[in-house]
Structure 1
Protein backbone atom coordinates (compact mmCIF):
# COMPACT_ATOMS: atom_id res chain seq x y z
CA UNK A 1 0.00 0.00 0.00
CA UNK A 2 1.70 3.19 -1.15
CA UNK A 3 0.83 6.87 -0.85
CA UNK A 4 1.93 10.14 -2.39
CA UNK A 5 3.99 12.68 -0.51
CA UNK A 6 0.96 15.00 -0.44
CA UNK A 7 -1.14 12.34 1.25
CA UNK A 8 1.68 11.48 3.65
CA UNK A 9 2.06 15.10 4.79
CA UNK A 10 -1.65 15.78 5.22
CA UNK A 11 -2.66 15.87 8.89
CA UNK A 12 -4.98 12.98 9.68
CA UNK A 13 -4.96 13.25 13.46
CA UNK A 14 -4.70 15.94 16.08
CA UNK A 15 -3.49 14.63 19.43
CA UNK A 16 -2.59 16.88 22.35
CA UNK A 17 -2.40 19.83 19.97
CA UNK A 18 -0.07 18.05 17.57
CA UNK A 19 -0.99 17.40 13.92
CA UNK A 20 0.04 13.92 12.82
CA UNK A 21 0.23 12.88 9.16
CA UNK A 22 -0.41 9.40 7.79
CA UNK A 23 3.35 8.88 7.35
CA UNK A 24 3.84 9.92 10.98
CA UNK A 25 1.24 7.39 12.09
CA UNK A 26 3.13 4.53 10.48
CA UNK A 27 6.44 5.78 11.86
CA UNK A 28 5.01 6.07 15.36
CA UNK A 29 3.44 2.61 15.20
CA UNK A 30 6.81 1.17 14.31
CA UNK A 31 8.68 3.20 16.88
CA UNK A 32 6.40 2.11 19.70
CA UNK A 33 6.38 -1.53 18.55
CA UNK A 34 2.69 -1.44 17.64
CA UNK A 35 2.97 -2.19 13.93
CA UNK A 36 2.80 -6.03 14.32
CA UNK A 37 -0.27 -5.64 16.55
CA UNK A 38 -2.00 -3.55 13.89
CA UNK A 39 -1.10 -6.05 11.19
CA UNK A 40 -2.51 -8.84 13.35
CA UNK A 41 -5.84 -7.07 13.75
CA UNK A 42 -6.03 -6.41 10.00
CA UNK A 43 -5.39 -10.10 9.29
CA UNK A 44 -8.20 -11.00 11.69
CA UNK A 45 -10.57 -8.50 10.07
CA UNK A 46 -9.86 -9.99 6.67
CA UNK A 47 -10.41 -13.52 7.98
CA UNK A 48 -13.79 -12.82 9.59
CA UNK A 49 -15.12 -10.54 6.84
CA UNK A 50 -17.49 -13.24 5.56
CA UNK A 51 -18.90 -14.14 9.00
CA UNK A 52 -22.35 -12.71 9.65
CA UNK A 53 -24.39 -12.62 12.85
CA UNK A 54 -28.13 -12.86 13.28
CA UNK A 55 -29.78 -9.99 15.19
CA UNK A 56 -30.05 -12.26 18.23
CA UNK A 57 -26.36 -13.17 18.03
CA UNK A 58 -25.44 -9.50 17.72
CA UNK A 59 -27.46 -8.58 20.82
CA UNK A 60 -25.96 -11.50 22.73
CA UNK A 61 -22.47 -10.48 21.64
CA UNK A 62 -23.00 -6.95 22.95
CA UNK A 63 -24.43 -8.19 26.24
CA UNK A 64 -21.50 -10.57 26.75
CA UNK A 65 -18.97 -7.88 25.87
CA UNK A 66 -20.47 -5.40 28.34
CA UNK A 67 -20.62 -8.04 31.05
CA UNK A 68 -17.00 -9.05 30.46
CA UNK A 69 -15.96 -5.40 30.82
CA UNK A 70 -18.15 -4.91 33.92
CA UNK A 71 -20.36 -2.33 32.23
CA UNK A 72 -23.87 -2.56 33.65
CA UNK A 73 -25.25 0.99 33.97
CA UNK A 74 -25.77 3.79 31.44
CA UNK A 75 -23.19 5.88 33.30
CA UNK A 76 -20.59 3.11 33.11
CA UNK A 77 -21.38 2.61 29.46
CA UNK A 78 -20.82 6.27 28.61
CA UNK A 79 -17.62 6.35 30.63
CA UNK A 80 -16.41 3.24 28.79
CA UNK A 81 -17.09 4.90 25.44
CA UNK A 82 -15.44 8.18 26.44
CA UNK A 83 -12.30 6.52 27.77
CA UNK A 84 -11.79 4.64 24.52
CA UNK A 85 -13.04 7.26 22.09
CA UNK A 86 -15.80 4.98 20.83
CA UNK A 87 -19.27 5.66 19.50
CA UNK A 88 -22.24 3.36 20.09
CA UNK A 89 -21.73 1.99 16.58
CA UNK A 90 -18.08 1.34 17.36
CA UNK A 91 -19.07 -0.46 20.55
CA UNK A 92 -21.44 -2.76 18.68
CA UNK A 93 -18.80 -3.46 16.04
CA UNK A 94 -16.16 -4.32 18.63
CA UNK A 95 -18.54 -6.66 20.46
CA UNK A 96 -19.68 -8.35 17.26
CA UNK A 97 -16.08 -8.76 16.11
CA UNK A 98 -15.30 -10.84 19.18
CA UNK A 99 -18.26 -13.12 18.47
CA UNK A 100 -17.41 -13.39 14.77
CA UNK A 101 -13.88 -14.42 15.63
CA UNK A 102 -15.13 -17.22 17.88
CA UNK A 103 -17.39 -18.48 15.10
CA UNK A 104 -14.56 -18.29 12.58
CA UNK A 105 -12.19 -20.22 14.84
CA UNK A 106 -14.76 -22.93 15.57
CA UNK A 107 -15.73 -23.35 11.91
CA UNK A 108 -12.15 -23.35 10.63
CA UNK A 109 -10.27 -25.31 13.28
CA UNK A 110 -12.99 -27.15 15.16
CA UNK A 111 -12.85 -30.14 12.77
CA UNK A 112 -9.06 -30.39 13.33
CA UNK A 113 -9.16 -30.39 17.11
CA UNK A 114 -9.49 -34.13 17.65
CA UNK A 115 -6.38 -35.00 15.64
CA UNK A 116 -4.51 -32.15 17.32
CA UNK A 117 -5.61 -33.48 20.69
CA UNK A 118 -4.20 -36.92 19.88
CA UNK A 119 -0.88 -35.33 18.93
CA UNK A 120 -0.80 -33.24 22.11
CA UNK A 121 -2.33 -35.67 24.58
CA UNK A 122 0.95 -36.95 26.02
CA UNK A 123 1.86 -33.42 27.13
CA UNK A 124 -1.68 -32.60 28.28
CA UNK A 125 -1.96 -35.56 30.66
CA UNK A 126 -1.58 -34.38 34.25
CA UNK A 127 0.24 -35.87 37.20
CA UNK A 128 0.25 -35.43 40.95
CA UNK A 129 3.61 -36.41 42.37
CA UNK A 130 5.86 -36.16 45.40
CA UNK A 131 9.40 -34.86 45.05
CA UNK A 132 12.51 -34.48 47.17
CA UNK A 133 15.43 -32.66 45.58
CA UNK A 134 18.88 -32.10 46.95
CA UNK A 135 22.34 -31.38 45.58
CA UNK A 136 23.76 -34.09 47.84
CA UNK A 137 23.68 -37.41 45.97
CA UNK A 138 24.48 -39.40 49.10
CA UNK A 139 21.62 -37.83 51.02
CA UNK A 140 19.24 -38.51 48.14
CA UNK A 141 20.21 -42.19 48.21
CA UNK A 142 19.73 -42.36 51.98
CA UNK A 143 16.30 -40.73 51.79
CA UNK A 144 15.25 -43.15 49.06
CA UNK A 145 16.07 -46.16 51.26
CA UNK A 146 14.41 -44.57 54.29
CA UNK A 147 11.20 -44.32 52.30
CA UNK A 148 11.51 -47.60 50.36
CA UNK A 149 12.86 -49.91 53.08
CA UNK A 150 12.05 -48.21 56.38
CA UNK A 151 8.61 -46.92 55.43
CA UNK A 152 9.28 -43.39 56.63
CA UNK A 153 6.69 -40.89 55.37
CA UNK A 154 7.73 -39.17 52.16
CA UNK A 155 6.08 -35.93 53.26
CA UNK A 156 8.04 -35.74 56.52
CA UNK A 157 11.37 -36.29 54.80
CA UNK A 158 10.50 -33.79 52.09
CA UNK A 159 9.72 -31.12 54.66
CA UNK A 160 13.02 -31.77 56.43
CA UNK A 161 15.40 -32.24 53.50
CA UNK A 162 14.01 -31.03 50.16
CA UNK A 163 15.74 -27.87 48.99
CA UNK A 164 12.94 -26.48 46.84
CA UNK A 165 9.57 -24.85 47.49
CA UNK A 166 7.93 -28.30 47.50
CA UNK A 167 9.31 -28.70 51.05
CA UNK A 168 6.43 -26.47 52.19
CA UNK A 169 3.86 -28.96 50.83
CA UNK A 170 5.55 -32.13 52.01
CA UNK A 171 7.00 -32.65 48.54
CA UNK A 172 3.60 -32.75 46.85
CA UNK A 173 3.39 -31.07 43.43
CA UNK A 174 0.43 -30.76 41.08
CA UNK A 175 -1.67 -31.73 39.42
CA UNK A 176 0.40 -30.35 36.54
CA UNK A 177 0.62 -31.25 32.87
CA UNK A 178 3.47 -33.56 31.95
CA UNK A 179 4.98 -30.78 29.87
CA UNK A 180 5.58 -28.68 33.00
CA UNK A 181 8.29 -30.60 34.91
CA UNK A 182 11.87 -30.81 33.68
CA UNK A 183 11.91 -33.08 30.56
CA UNK A 184 13.96 -35.74 32.36
CA UNK A 185 11.51 -35.77 35.25
CA UNK A 186 8.56 -35.73 32.87
CA UNK A 187 9.87 -38.86 31.14
CA UNK A 188 10.15 -40.67 34.46
CA UNK A 189 6.63 -39.69 35.49
CA UNK A 190 5.19 -40.63 32.09
CA UNK A 191 6.24 -44.28 32.53
CA UNK A 192 5.38 -44.51 36.24
CA UNK A 193 2.54 -46.30 37.92
CA UNK A 194 0.73 -44.58 40.85
CA UNK A 195 2.69 -45.25 44.03
CA UNK A 196 5.90 -46.08 42.18
CA UNK A 197 9.00 -44.68 43.90
CA UNK A 198 12.09 -44.03 41.83
CA UNK A 199 15.71 -44.19 43.03
CA UNK A 200 17.62 -40.89 42.92
CA UNK A 201 17.67 -39.45 39.41
CA UNK A 202 19.94 -36.67 38.21
CA UNK A 203 17.91 -33.72 36.93
CA UNK A 204 20.07 -30.74 36.11
CA UNK A 205 21.95 -29.74 39.24
CA UNK A 206 19.67 -31.80 41.48
CA UNK A 207 19.35 -35.37 42.66
CA UNK A 208 15.63 -36.10 42.92
CA UNK A 209 13.60 -38.80 44.57
CA UNK A 210 10.16 -38.89 43.00
CA UNK A 211 6.97 -40.86 43.49
CA UNK A 212 3.93 -40.68 41.24
CA UNK A 213 0.80 -40.21 43.34
CA UNK A 214 -1.90 -39.94 40.69
CA UNK A 215 -2.15 -39.94 36.90
CA UNK A 216 -4.93 -37.81 35.38
CA UNK A 217 -5.37 -38.51 31.65
CA UNK A 218 -6.34 -35.54 29.50
CA UNK A 219 -9.91 -35.45 28.19
CA UNK A 220 -11.25 -33.57 25.21
CA UNK A 221 -13.78 -31.61 27.24
CA UNK A 222 -15.07 -28.16 26.31
CA UNK A 223 -12.25 -26.16 27.96
CA UNK A 224 -9.61 -28.37 26.33
CA UNK A 225 -11.37 -28.13 22.97
CA UNK A 226 -11.38 -24.33 23.22
CA UNK A 227 -7.72 -24.27 24.25
CA UNK A 228 -6.65 -26.45 21.32
CA UNK A 229 -8.78 -24.45 18.89
CA UNK A 230 -7.03 -21.31 20.12
CA UNK A 231 -3.64 -23.01 19.73
CA UNK A 232 -4.33 -23.87 16.09
CA UNK A 233 -5.70 -20.40 15.37
CA UNK A 234 -2.78 -18.63 17.05
CA UNK A 235 -0.26 -20.71 15.10
CA UNK A 236 -2.03 -19.80 11.86
CA UNK A 237 -2.29 -16.15 12.86
CA UNK A 238 1.42 -15.93 13.70
CA UNK A 239 2.28 -17.29 10.25
CA UNK A 240 -0.05 -14.84 8.54
CA UNK A 241 1.30 -11.86 10.47
CA UNK A 242 4.90 -12.86 9.78
CA UNK A 243 4.15 -13.20 6.08
CA UNK A 244 2.45 -9.80 6.03
CA UNK A 245 5.35 -8.15 7.85
CA UNK A 246 7.70 -9.63 5.29
CA UNK A 247 5.83 -8.07 2.39
CA UNK A 248 6.87 -4.82 0.68
CA UNK A 249 7.05 -1.77 2.92
CA UNK A 250 3.43 -0.69 3.53
CA UNK A 251 4.30 2.93 2.86
CA UNK A 252 6.28 3.97 -0.19
CA UNK A 253 8.55 6.43 1.57
CA UNK A 254 10.38 7.30 -1.67
CA UNK A 255 7.23 8.83 -3.20
Structure 2
Protein backbone atom coordinates (compact mmCIF):
# COMPACT_ATOMS: atom_id res chain seq x y z
CA UNK A 1 0.00 0.00 0.00
CA UNK A 2 2.77 2.42 0.99
CA UNK A 3 4.69 1.53 -2.17
CA UNK A 4 1.60 2.18 -4.27
CA UNK A 5 1.13 5.56 -2.62
CA UNK A 6 4.76 6.51 -3.28
CA UNK A 7 4.47 5.50 -6.94
CA UNK A 8 1.30 7.56 -7.31
CA UNK A 9 2.88 10.67 -5.78
CA UNK A 10 5.98 10.24 -7.94
CA UNK A 11 3.77 9.88 -11.03
CA UNK A 12 1.87 13.09 -10.20
CA UNK A 13 5.07 15.00 -9.43
CA UNK A 14 6.39 14.16 -12.89
CA UNK A 15 3.40 15.73 -14.64
CA UNK A 16 3.90 19.19 -16.14
CA UNK A 17 2.48 21.80 -13.72
CA UNK A 18 0.27 23.42 -16.36
CA UNK A 19 -1.09 20.02 -17.36
CA UNK A 20 -1.74 19.15 -13.72
CA UNK A 21 -3.52 22.47 -13.20
CA UNK A 22 -5.72 21.72 -16.22
CA UNK A 23 -6.54 18.24 -14.87
CA UNK A 24 -7.53 19.64 -11.47
CA UNK A 25 -9.63 22.46 -12.90
CA UNK A 26 -11.54 19.96 -15.04
CA UNK A 27 -11.96 17.53 -12.12
CA UNK A 28 -10.04 14.93 -14.13
CA UNK A 29 -7.38 14.25 -11.50
CA UNK A 30 -9.36 11.50 -9.67
CA UNK A 31 -9.90 9.60 -12.92
CA UNK A 32 -6.21 9.90 -13.81
CA UNK A 33 -5.22 8.54 -10.39
CA UNK A 34 -7.77 5.73 -10.72
CA UNK A 35 -6.38 4.62 -14.08
CA UNK A 36 -2.82 4.82 -12.77
CA UNK A 37 -3.64 2.71 -9.70
CA UNK A 38 -5.43 0.07 -11.76
CA UNK A 39 -2.50 -0.08 -14.18
CA UNK A 40 -0.02 -0.59 -11.33
CA UNK A 41 -2.18 -3.23 -9.68
CA UNK A 42 -2.67 -5.08 -12.99
CA UNK A 43 1.05 -5.00 -13.76
CA UNK A 44 1.68 -7.31 -10.79
CA UNK A 45 -0.93 -9.87 -11.87
CA UNK A 46 0.17 -12.79 -14.02
CA UNK A 47 -2.26 -14.60 -16.32
CA UNK A 48 -1.56 -18.12 -17.53
CA UNK A 49 -0.65 -18.13 -21.22
CA UNK A 50 -3.66 -20.22 -22.27
CA UNK A 51 -6.07 -17.92 -20.37
CA UNK A 52 -4.45 -14.82 -21.89
CA UNK A 53 -4.57 -16.21 -25.43
CA UNK A 54 -8.15 -17.46 -25.06
CA UNK A 55 -9.33 -14.00 -24.00
CA UNK A 56 -7.64 -12.42 -27.04
CA UNK A 57 -9.11 -15.08 -29.32
CA UNK A 58 -12.62 -14.55 -27.91
CA UNK A 59 -12.36 -10.80 -28.49
CA UNK A 60 -11.18 -11.32 -32.07
CA UNK A 61 -14.02 -13.74 -32.72
CA UNK A 62 -16.71 -11.40 -31.30
CA UNK A 63 -15.38 -8.50 -33.35
CA UNK A 64 -14.90 -10.46 -36.59
CA UNK A 65 -11.14 -9.95 -36.64
CA UNK A 66 -10.15 -12.69 -39.06
CA UNK A 67 -6.88 -11.40 -40.49
CA UNK A 68 -4.24 -8.68 -40.20
CA UNK A 69 -6.29 -6.25 -42.27
CA UNK A 70 -9.22 -6.58 -39.86
CA UNK A 71 -6.87 -6.09 -36.93
CA UNK A 72 -5.27 -3.00 -38.50
CA UNK A 73 -8.72 -1.50 -39.07
CA UNK A 74 -9.80 -1.87 -35.46
CA UNK A 75 -6.46 -0.57 -34.21
CA UNK A 76 -6.91 2.49 -36.41
CA UNK A 77 -10.46 3.06 -35.14
CA UNK A 78 -9.39 2.74 -31.50
CA UNK A 79 -6.11 4.59 -31.97
CA UNK A 80 -4.22 1.74 -30.29
CA UNK A 81 -1.20 -0.41 -30.93
CA UNK A 82 -1.70 -4.17 -30.84
CA UNK A 83 -0.01 -4.31 -27.44
CA UNK A 84 -2.36 -1.63 -26.06
CA UNK A 85 -5.39 -3.46 -27.43
CA UNK A 86 -4.30 -6.71 -25.78
CA UNK A 87 -3.79 -4.82 -22.52
CA UNK A 88 -7.36 -3.48 -22.66
CA UNK A 89 -8.78 -6.91 -23.52
CA UNK A 90 -7.09 -8.71 -20.64
CA UNK A 91 -7.34 -5.94 -18.01
CA UNK A 92 -10.76 -7.09 -16.67
CA UNK A 93 -9.32 -10.59 -16.10
CA UNK A 94 -6.37 -9.16 -14.19
CA UNK A 95 -8.67 -7.02 -12.06
CA UNK A 96 -10.81 -10.06 -11.26
CA UNK A 97 -7.73 -12.10 -10.39
CA UNK A 98 -6.50 -9.36 -8.05
CA UNK A 99 -9.95 -9.18 -6.44
CA UNK A 100 -9.94 -12.95 -5.89
CA UNK A 101 -6.53 -12.77 -4.24
CA UNK A 102 -7.43 -9.83 -2.00
CA UNK A 103 -11.14 -10.07 -1.20
CA UNK A 104 -12.16 -13.74 -1.42
CA UNK A 105 -12.48 -13.98 2.38
CA UNK A 106 -15.01 -11.12 2.42
CA UNK A 107 -17.31 -12.43 -0.28
CA UNK A 108 -19.80 -14.47 1.79
CA UNK A 109 -20.50 -11.69 4.30
CA UNK A 110 -20.72 -9.15 1.46
CA UNK A 111 -23.17 -11.42 -0.38
CA UNK A 112 -25.43 -11.56 2.69
CA UNK A 113 -25.22 -7.78 3.00
CA UNK A 114 -26.22 -7.31 -0.67
CA UNK A 115 -28.58 -10.26 -1.01
CA UNK A 116 -31.87 -8.36 -0.86
CA UNK A 117 -30.74 -6.32 -3.86
CA UNK A 118 -29.54 -9.40 -5.77
CA UNK A 119 -32.75 -11.43 -5.47
CA UNK A 120 -34.79 -11.22 -8.69
CA UNK A 121 -38.34 -9.90 -8.46
CA UNK A 122 -41.28 -10.01 -10.82
CA UNK A 123 -44.19 -7.72 -9.96
CA UNK A 124 -47.10 -5.71 -11.33
CA UNK A 125 -47.23 -1.97 -10.72
CA UNK A 126 -49.69 0.88 -11.18
CA UNK A 127 -48.48 4.49 -10.84
CA UNK A 128 -51.04 7.23 -10.29
CA UNK A 129 -51.14 10.84 -9.14
CA UNK A 130 -54.57 10.57 -7.51
CA UNK A 131 -54.77 8.98 -4.05
CA UNK A 132 -58.53 8.32 -4.17
CA UNK A 133 -58.27 6.61 -7.55
CA UNK A 134 -55.35 4.53 -6.28
CA UNK A 135 -57.46 3.16 -3.42
CA UNK A 136 -60.45 2.61 -5.70
CA UNK A 137 -58.34 0.51 -8.08
CA UNK A 138 -56.70 -1.32 -5.17
CA UNK A 139 -60.10 -2.44 -3.81
CA UNK A 140 -61.28 -3.46 -7.29
CA UNK A 141 -58.19 -5.65 -7.70
CA UNK A 142 -58.40 -7.01 -4.14
CA UNK A 143 -62.04 -8.04 -4.62
CA UNK A 144 -61.12 -9.60 -7.99
CA UNK A 145 -63.61 -7.27 -9.64
CA UNK A 146 -60.93 -6.11 -12.08
CA UNK A 147 -57.68 -7.42 -13.55
CA UNK A 148 -54.45 -5.72 -12.43
CA UNK A 149 -52.84 -5.53 -15.88
CA UNK A 150 -55.98 -4.18 -17.55
CA UNK A 151 -56.27 -1.44 -14.94
CA UNK A 152 -52.58 -0.69 -15.37
CA UNK A 153 -53.00 -0.27 -19.13
CA UNK A 154 -55.98 2.05 -18.59
CA UNK A 155 -54.90 4.20 -15.65
CA UNK A 156 -51.18 3.88 -14.98
CA UNK A 157 -48.67 6.49 -16.14
CA UNK A 158 -46.34 4.81 -18.63
CA UNK A 159 -42.75 4.12 -17.66
CA UNK A 160 -40.09 2.38 -19.76
CA UNK A 161 -38.99 0.71 -16.52
CA UNK A 162 -42.42 -0.93 -16.14
CA UNK A 163 -43.75 -1.65 -19.66
CA UNK A 164 -47.41 -2.67 -19.48
CA UNK A 165 -47.26 -2.47 -15.69
CA UNK A 166 -44.82 -5.36 -15.37
CA UNK A 167 -41.32 -5.43 -13.91
CA UNK A 168 -38.81 -8.25 -14.04
CA UNK A 169 -37.54 -10.73 -13.45
CA UNK A 170 -34.76 -8.36 -12.35
CA UNK A 171 -32.97 -7.35 -9.17
CA UNK A 172 -33.92 -4.17 -7.31
CA UNK A 173 -30.64 -2.28 -7.62
CA UNK A 174 -31.21 1.41 -8.17
CA UNK A 175 -34.91 1.25 -7.32
CA UNK A 176 -36.62 3.62 -4.86
CA UNK A 177 -36.03 2.45 -1.28
CA UNK A 178 -39.75 2.59 -0.37
CA UNK A 179 -40.61 0.22 -3.21
CA UNK A 180 -37.67 -2.03 -2.31
CA UNK A 181 -38.76 -2.30 1.34
CA UNK A 182 -42.34 -3.15 0.38
CA UNK A 183 -41.20 -5.92 -1.97
CA UNK A 184 -38.57 -7.36 0.37
CA UNK A 185 -41.20 -7.93 3.06
CA UNK A 186 -43.88 -9.23 0.67
CA UNK A 187 -44.66 -12.80 -0.37
CA UNK A 188 -45.64 -13.97 -3.87
CA UNK A 189 -49.23 -13.00 -4.79
CA UNK A 190 -49.36 -10.29 -2.10
CA UNK A 191 -51.27 -7.19 -3.19
CA UNK A 192 -49.68 -4.18 -1.51
CA UNK A 193 -51.88 -1.26 -0.45
CA UNK A 194 -51.32 2.10 -2.17
CA UNK A 195 -48.40 4.12 -0.82
CA UNK A 196 -46.83 7.40 -1.84
CA UNK A 197 -43.44 7.84 -3.54
CA UNK A 198 -42.78 11.52 -4.26
CA UNK A 199 -45.75 12.71 -6.34
CA UNK A 200 -46.84 9.17 -7.23
CA UNK A 201 -49.28 6.74 -5.63
CA UNK A 202 -48.10 3.19 -6.16
CA UNK A 203 -49.95 -0.15 -6.15
CA UNK A 204 -47.84 -3.31 -6.26
CA UNK A 205 -48.55 -7.00 -6.62
CA UNK A 206 -45.60 -9.33 -6.12
CA UNK A 207 -45.68 -12.20 -8.60
CA UNK A 208 -42.43 -14.01 -7.86
CA UNK A 209 -39.21 -13.66 -5.88
CA UNK A 210 -36.18 -15.69 -6.99
CA UNK A 211 -33.53 -15.96 -4.29
CA UNK A 212 -29.99 -15.08 -5.36
CA UNK A 213 -27.30 -17.75 -5.08
CA UNK A 214 -23.60 -17.27 -4.56
CA UNK A 215 -22.71 -19.00 -7.83
CA UNK A 216 -19.64 -18.19 -9.90
CA UNK A 217 -21.13 -15.28 -11.93
CA UNK A 218 -22.56 -13.67 -8.78
CA UNK A 219 -19.30 -14.22 -6.90
CA UNK A 220 -17.29 -12.57 -9.69
CA UNK A 221 -19.71 -9.65 -9.92
CA UNK A 222 -19.46 -9.02 -6.17
CA UNK A 223 -15.68 -9.29 -6.23
CA UNK A 224 -15.61 -6.52 -8.85
CA UNK A 225 -17.98 -4.44 -6.71
CA UNK A 226 -15.63 -4.79 -3.73
CA UNK A 227 -12.65 -3.97 -5.95
CA UNK A 228 -14.34 -0.79 -7.19
CA UNK A 229 -15.06 0.31 -3.62
CA UNK A 230 -11.44 -0.38 -2.74
CA UNK A 231 -10.16 1.63 -5.71
CA UNK A 232 -12.59 4.50 -5.10
CA UNK A 233 -11.41 4.72 -1.50
CA UNK A 234 -7.75 4.77 -2.59
CA UNK A 235 -8.46 7.45 -5.19
CA UNK A 236 -10.25 9.66 -2.65
CA UNK A 237 -7.49 9.28 -0.06
CA UNK A 238 -4.66 9.86 -2.54
CA UNK A 239 -6.40 12.85 -4.13
CA UNK A 240 -7.21 14.46 -0.77
CA UNK A 241 -3.70 13.87 0.60
CA UNK A 242 -2.03 15.16 -2.55
CA UNK A 243 -4.07 18.37 -2.57
CA UNK A 244 -3.62 18.91 1.18
CA UNK A 245 0.15 18.76 0.83
CA UNK A 246 0.37 22.06 -1.01
CA UNK A 247 -0.50 20.79 -4.51
CA UNK A 248 -3.57 22.97 -4.99
State if a TM-score over 0.5 links the two structures.
yes
CA contact under 8 A between 2:125 and 2:162: conserved in structure 1? no
Cα distance, 1:238 vs structure 2? 0.8
Work out which of the residue numbers 96, 111, 114 in structure 2 matches 1:120.
114
Deviations 1:36-76 (A, max 9, x none): 33322221233234322344344334334544655332012
Asked if the contact 1:131/1:166 (under 8 Å) is kept, the reply is: no
Q: Which has the larger radius of gyration?
A: 1
Higher share in helix: 2
Q: Paired residue for 2:45, among 51, 62, 74?
A: 51
Structure 1 residue 157 corresponds to structure 2 residue 181: no
- CA drift at 1:145: 1.7
Number of equivalenced pairs: 238
Q: Alignment RMSD, CA only? A: 3.4
1:95-150 deviation digits (Å, cap 9, x = unpaired): 55454333212222233222110111012222111112222222112112211224
1:182 and 2:176 matched: yes
Distance, in Å, in 2 between the alignment partners of 1:109 and 1:80 is 35
- The TM-score normalised by the length of structure 1 is 0.76
Which structure 1 residue ranges, 5 or more long, are not aligned?
9-20
User: TM-score w.r.t. structure 2 length?
Assistant: 0.78
Cα 1:211/1:23, change in 2 over 3 Å = same
Gaps of 5+ in 2: 1-8
SS in structure 2 at match of 1:247: helix
Choose the corresponding residue for 2:187, options 193, 199, 206: 193
Farther off after superposition, 98-107 or 114-123: 98-107
Pairing 1:232–2:226 present: yes
Deviating more after overlay: 28-37 vs 180-189: 28-37
